[in-house]
Amino acid sequence: MKIVILGSGNVAYHLAKAFAEKNIPVAQVFGRNEKDLKEISAQLEIPFSTEKLEDADFYLLAVNDDAVTDLSKKILKTNCLVAHTSGSLPKEALEGHYRKASFYPLQTFSKSKPLNYSEIPFFVEAENLPDLEILENLALKISTNVMKSDFEKRKYIHLTAVFACNFVNHLFARAKEISDAQHIPFEYFLPLIKETTEKIYEVEPKLAQTGPAVRNDERVLVLHEQLIADEEHLKIYKTLNESIKKMYEL
């Protein structure tokens, strides 16, 4: 099967790298950002282009959601399989006279951070059983965790991921703003962050909750609110504490 990856960002890079590590040939990486494409091409020895899309059996669009539909129109071939990697778009977002699918990796991707691809959950969807089997077999070559999922389920998977990953990372960034403002090295908090994330492998998140809100410790809550000068930090602090109290009916 001849594969072309469309995109040059984090997801495109990591999927190309995952395929390369498993000796799955990629005929081309295609996109607009020549600098990033050159870096992927040089590192993984994959041809690239910003102009001519290579003929292929399988096109994988690893781009931002708002670019999927327009980019999919560039694929004029009809006898091929085309999939996007979005968790929040249906396969029908692809516009063309080809077979449409979804190939969604549930992970946060940064080019600078190596990943163990075998642990990444992949959710696949296609218009017919033969194409679904193609995607399953491809995903199983790089991961041990492959599942079928239609868009109705996948969009809730993506929503959950936003809570579990994006919001949590944002709180790390806000925490660092507070520590930086007080000249406290953020590295002091890394063991705490590590223990917090590792704990949920063994303890139900709801049962693992600690802190002043779950203890209903009003003295500490008031003290913290008095310490917070930044309006946005205060809003986050109050909102999350109220959410914790409601969860535990305090």
Structural domain total, the chain = 2
Instruction: Write the DSSP string, 81-137.
Output: EEEE--SSS-GGGS-SSSEEEEEEE-S---TTS---GGG--EEEEESSHHHHHHHHH
List the CATH number of the domain containing 83.
3.40.50.720
Query: Whole domain around residue 226: which residue ranges?
Result: 155-247
- On the question of pLDDT at 250 being above 90, the answer is no
pLDDT given for residue 65 in this prediction: 96
**pTM for this predicted structure:** 0.92
Q: What is the mean predicted confidence (pLDDT) over 237-250?
A: 95
Question: Pick from 114, 149, 184: which residue ends a domain?
Answer: 149
The residues with which 31 forms a beta bridge, in sequence order, are: none
Alpha-carbon separation of residue 154 from 56, 91, 92, 200 (angstroms)? 27, 11, 14, 23
Q: Which two tokens stand for residue 13?
A: 């890079």
Residues 78 and 42 in one domain: yes
pLDDT tens digits along 164-194: 999 999 999 999 999 999 999 999 999 999 9
Q: What is the 3-state secondary structure (H, E, C) of 170-224?
A: HHHHHHHHHHHHCCCCHHHHHHHHHHHHHHCCCCCCCCCCCCHHHHCCHHHHHHH
For residues 216 and 172, membership in a common domain is answered with yes
Here the CATH number for the domain that contains residue 183 is 1.10.1040.20
Residue 122: pLDDT band with limits 50, 70, 90: very high
95 and 176 in a common domain: no
**Segment 39-63 mean pLDDT:** 97
